[in-house]
A and B are shown apart, each in its own frame.
Chain A
Amino acid sequence: MEDWRKNKLAFMVFMGPATFWLLVFFTIPVVAIWVYSFGERGPLGQTYLAFSFDNYLRAIEPIHLKILWKSIWIGGLSTFLCLLIGFPVALGIAFAPDRWKNPLLLVVVLPFFTNMLIRTFAWIVVLGSRGVVNSGLGWLHGQADWLLGFAGLPDVMGQFTPLEMLHNNYTVIVGLVYVHLPFLILPLYATLEKLDRSYLEASLDLGAGQWRTFFSVLAPLAMPGIVTGCLLVFILSMGNFLVPDRLGGTDSMMIGNLIAQEFSKARDWPFGAALSFVIMYPVFIFFAINALMMRRRERVRAEA
């Protein structure tokens, strides 16, 4: 078989659209923001191009690092919860009878048909003081009160006070998990679906228990899907600014909100750009190291 990489024309035809897309919609905007990040804010909020590291020095001030650290924490926790919920779901779909797979996948993707903003607002309706959950609890409370009164114990329950569920960091995590769950389920499902089941059977036949099989065979085999899914969810939740803005309380500012604030309220695009790049540099370094290691591995393989 011919190595398709050797056919330059075919390679260009197939890579062309993707390269064009990457260049126009990724590289150029990112370079523009990178150039801004060395700029200066004019007194009226203009962006002056310059070559100054002030924005970066400001970005690593403790207060900004604290917000970054908090975003990493909240993003990490959301990712962990997504994995906890998403893994069984992906496994369930992958092992479901064939005719059920597509309907089940549709159910996972269905929320995407509604705008994320609306889905986030829906949580306000669900969790609000007069929201769905509190109305339900209030009704149960009323019924219990009535029953106890019937049993000769009036006024034991007292007045119903709605639970305060909105506007705190827990709600932010609930919102982030809800919004990003499909991003974990789908890649994980893709990996689990094409997994060779005979490994699982072999493990069970050879005397490993269900747990042992899960952690020593299934989980390592599913690792590419787990890593892709977790990375996606982590990056998306860490940078999310809509969910903390709408569901968060007074201490829910995440790095995304801070960057949004610099680009809007503070009219300080250079500083906002520097903040974005403080997150992007580690990602670039990670990918650069990854690429280097891949190349070395390939060379080793070629020599062998």
Chain B
Amino acid sequence: MRKFGRSLISQVSRRAFMQGSVAAVGITFVGGANRAWSAEEKRLNIYNWDTYIGEKTLGTFNARTGIQVQYDLFGDNEEMFAKLKEGNPGYDIIVPTDYMVEDMISLGMVVPLDHSKIPNLKHLDPAFTNPAYDPGMKHSIPYMWGTMGLGYKESAMDSAPESWADVLEPSRAAKHSGRIALLSDSRAVIGCALKYMGYPMNSTDAKQIAEARDLLIAVKPHIKTFAADNGQDLLVAGEVDITMEWSGDIAAVMQEEEGYNYVVPKEGSNVWVDNICIPKDAPHPDNAHKFINHVHDVDVHVEIANTIYFATPNKDAKAKMPKEYTDNPAVFAPDDVLSRCEGILSVGEHTRLYDEAWTAIQAS
């Protein structure tokens, strides 16, 4: 009896194993053949920031091209980077910020773009078509840009904040003790503290970074939380009265509710450009080019800008936008403010200085 049982089990398992492996070989074969000669399947996998697209963008894209979109969200550049670092899990479109584009190009994580497939590039403002982080837009197409600043509730302020001192200098921050949120973005927060102290935003000087760290540790008792890109929600929910945030997030709140405002502190801040790229090994690069072209279609772009309220590099779309958008300093920072702003740059091996300063701030 036991002998019979044993042989039965081994036979069954061997046969099942054989079937399984044959099936697996079959699938790989079909998959390989399919990719080799047929047109791309009608699918596109997008990996984008939260609240960073129009309400109708994907619908119109599907209506025009018949392509089904799978849409995933990330919260910051590093999260996106970590997911793609050891190989692309299947995304066709990603939206990294300037410094991250530069790193991803150096690491060969994004592919060159075929500009002939993106005729709508003609709508871009020439000021954006030759960025320092990717000369000639070879690997990236600008999507939106903005600044980092302070969003605040007007009724809670005696006077409008105008300096980083209002949230970073302990004696001044004490006025709003426990009603302040900073972002949980180490480079942005330490960078703004460096700007406030008159140092460059991308300092690699250990002493300057240590000074910025000590300032942040000193002001920490007055800070309620380091918000994970949800400062605008904390502001509207009444948890805080003043928060460090990206321009468009506050501008969108200002569109919906009265009594909130945004300012870029006079010491200067961070200015950034987010870009659309196609990661290496994207399964549907043709569809991805179609999508990039779609996003810069003037009407489509107008709807996106109207929804998310970040500043657009698409000059023809901007021309069709209402005055509340084009003349809004929370969306388009005035030139004199911009002249004091800097982009975040990759600091290579000095990243560790920022990382350790940030851990020290969190742990103290």
Contact = CB atoms under 8 A, between A and B. Distances in A.
To the question of whether A and B form a pair in one complex, the answer is yes
Interface of A: 9, 13, 41, 43-47, 63-64, 66-67, 70, 128-130, 162, 164, 166-167, 245-246, 248-251, 253, 257-258, 261-268
B352 A264 contact: no
Nearest to B6: A9
B239 A261 contact: no
A266 B352 contact: yes
B156 to A, nearest CB: 12
Chain B, interface SS category: helix
Given A167-B239, A250-B220, A266 B346 contact: no
B55 interface: no
Contact of B237 (A41, A43, A70, A130): A130
B186 interface: yes
A267 B226 contact: no
Nearest to A248: B225
A41 to B, nearest CB: 8
Q: How large is the interface on B (under 10, 10 to 19, 20 to 34, 35 or more residues)?
A: 35 or more
Contacts of B224: 167, 249-250
B225 A264 contact: no
A261 B355 contact: yes
A249 B240 CA distance: 12
Contacts of B346: 44
B225 A265 contact: no
B155 to A, nearest CB: 15
Contacts, number: 94
B81 to A, nearest CB: 7
Contacts of A263: 82
Contacts of A248: 225
13 contacts: A41-B351, A45-B351, A128-B238, A128-B239, A129-B238, A162-B238, A164-B178, A167-B225, A251-B364, A264-B79, A265-B76, A266-B78, A266-B351
B352 A245 contact: no
Counting from the closest, the 10 A-B pairs by CB-CB distance are A43-B348, A253-B362, A266-B355, A264-B78, A167-B225, A129-B238, A43-B349, A265-B78, A250-B223, A44-B103
A253 B76 contact: no
Contacts of B226: 250
Given A9-B6, A130-B238, A250-B220, 18 more contacts: A41-B352, A43-B348, A44-B106, A67-B359, A67-B362, A128-B237, A129-B238, A250-B223, A250-B225, A250-B362, A251-B363, A253-B359, A253-B363, A261-B355, A261-B359, A264-B82, A265-B186, A265-B355
B24 interface: no
Interface of B: 6, 9, 76, 78-79, 81-82, 85, 103, 106-107, 178, 185-186, 220, 223-226, 228, 237-239, 346, 348-349, 351-352, 355-356, 358-360, 362-364
A263 B346 CA distance: 17
Nearest to B13: A13
Contacts of B79: 264
A251 B351 contact: no
Nearest to A130: B238
A83 B354 CA distance: 40
A262 B358 CA distance: 11
A148 to B, nearest CB: 26
A268 B355 contact: yes
Given A9-B9, A45-B85, A129-B237, A63 B103 contact: no
Contact of B362 (A45, A129, A251): A251
A268 B352 CA distance: 9
Contacts of A44: 103, 106-107, 346, 348
B225 A249 contact: yes
A248 B184 CA distance: 12
Contacts of A249: 224-225
Contacts of A268: 351-352, 355
Contacts of B355: 261-262, 265-266, 268
Nearest to A129: B238
Contacts of A246: 228
B68 to A, nearest CB: 25
Nearest to B219: A250
B76 to A, nearest CB: 7
Contacts of B78: 264-267
Which of B6, B223, B225, B238: most chain A Cβ within 10 A? B225
A257 B349 CA distance: 22
B82 A267 contact: yes
Contacts of A45: 81, 85, 103, 351
B76 A251 contact: no
